Amino acid sequence: MGRSRNIIQSMIDNLRLYIGEPLILFERYRVPANELEARQDIKKGRIAMYEVNESVTTRTDAYRANLSNQRYGMDITVPRGYAKDDASRGELPLLDLRDKIVDWAAQVDAGSVTNSGIFTYGYESSGGITRLPKNVTMTLNFISIRDLQPSQTNI
């Protein structure tokens, strides 16, 4: 299994345990918010983690990439029952879920969870809430320090 895959799977599995809500769907890929409108399998919410962009920060001899800043996106989607529902059925539960995710990110030991695939994992920013007829969605942005020389670790 590839290192990138291991990082995403390990982190989202750890988040699933932290959230502890069986009706929330956890996925490992981005789906545009408008495409989520047709889905019937999102009961209480959906959390999806995926890689965004990466930039090398440290190089070794012969200019080999050693460490990078790897950014991750995390989409949170909460269904609403009706198009005219107020914030109590969409935005407010989404914000509760957002707070749980930010709390998780503050305490997760990313090095242990990913077998040193990434050393750190921190909350960086968020986008605004997108309200569609059936769902509300928000994207959170995270940054990590990633080891690009796996021969140095146990991966």
**Residue-wise pLDDT tens digits, 34-77:** 999 999 999 999 999 999 999 888 888 888 888 999 999 999 99
Please report, as a single letter, which amino acid is at residue 103. Answer: D
CATH number at residue 13: 3.30.2000.10
Tens digits of residue pLDDT in 6-41:
999 999 999 999 999 999 999 999 999 999 999 999
pTM above 0.85, yes or no: yes
Asked if 141 and 124 touch (Cβ cutoff 8 Å), the reply is yes
Q: How many domains does the chain have?
A: 1
Phi, psi of 101 (to 5 degrees): -65, -40
Q: Which domain holds residue 100?
A: 3-152
